[in-house]
Amino acid sequence: MRNITSIVLKTLLVFCLLSFQACSSQSQLIADEKETISIENLQYYLYYPKGYEEGKNEKFPLLLFLHGGGESGGTLEDLKSNGPPKLLAEGKDFPFLILAPQNPHKRKWWNTRAVMQLLDTIIKNNRVDEDRVYLTGLSRGGGAAWELAVQYPDKFAALAVVCGMAPVPYAGWINKNMPIWVFHGTEDKSIPVSESQNMVNRLQEMGYDVQFTKYEGVGHNAWVQAYNTEELYVWLMKQKRSE
């Protein structure tokens, strides 16, 4: 009898231990919520065209320029190395405002939400024609320009991208009424020309208004020729956002 009782007790003990281990090893799925806040410190240049101060009731177009990785994480003065800020430093005049923020992180992508907050603030505090806000960027900034066009399809009147990585799967999210001009060098070793070519092909298949300028034999610095193309700025000034 004692043996039987002992066996029963041992069996119950083993069962309880196994049950406890099974219960303690079960995973849990918890539903919760946390409000997060991201703060970004963006330095920037803001250029005002001639006539801005005189025309108190006139609204002006604005070009948002996003620089490449070489100007990230340094001083604001670094922005004058390339693109419209370089041309401004050399004395060129433009018929629109130019907003040129700096990515404060050397090895991080652009914080596009922060860029949009800055852009909205500049538009609110200046006489900007919201139907004539243009977007451009080179290299890492070109990739960010594509991202902004995808994420905020109703914000911009025209887009010009120079050698930027392209979000081909999301091409259809871009506003079909927004004209696009893409530039790339055929010998680009950093971001292959196929990045732009594939994006252009996809957009053209869907009936978008997109033109592609390829610079034969040019490497990653296609922006030198692109931003010295006067027709680019004439083209931008002709564009106006449509519903």
- How high is the pLDDT of residue 26? 85
Residue 28 has pLDDT above 50, yes or no: yes
The answer to the question of residue 225 being in a domain is yes
The answer to the question of residue 24 being in a domain is no
Strand bridging mode 180-185 / 158-162: parallel
Average pLDDT of the segment spanning 103-129: 97
Average pLDDT of the segment spanning 177-199: 98
The answer to the question of residue 92 being in a domain is yes
User: How many other CB atoms sit within 10 Å of the CB of residue 79?
Assistant: 24
- How high is the pLDDT of residue 82? 98
The answer to the question of residue 176 being in a domain is yes
- How high is the pLDDT of residue 9? 43
Name the 3-class secondary structure at 75.
Answer: coil
The answer to the question of residue 242 being in a domain is no
Phi–psi pair at 231, nearest 5 degrees: -60, -25
- How high is the pLDDT of residue 16? 44
Rounded Cα distance, 76 and 87, in Å: 15
- How high is the pLDDT of residue 56? 81
Residue 20 has pLDDT above 80, yes or no: no
The answer to the question of residue 32 being in a domain is no
The answer to the question of residue 165 being in a domain is yes
The pLDDT confidence band at residue 6, using thresholds 50, 70 and 90, is low
Residue 18 has pLDDT above 90, yes or no: no
Written as one letter, the residue type at 92 is K
User: How many other CB atoms sit within 10 Å of the CB of residue 222?
Assistant: 26
Q: What is the CATH number of the domain that holds 150?
A: 3.40.50.1820
Q: Are 239 and 132 in contact (CB under 8 A)?
A: yes
List Cβ neighbours of 204 (8 Å cut-off, separation of 6 or more).
Answer: 210
The share of the chain scoring above pLDDT 70, in percent, equals 89
Which segment of 3-17, 57-71, 143-157 scores lowest on mean pLDDT? 3-17
The answer to the question of residue 212 being in a domain is yes
User: What is the tally of structural domains in the chain?
Assistant: 1
Tell me the pLDDT of the chain averaged across its residues. Answer: 92
Residues spanned by the domain of 114? 44-237
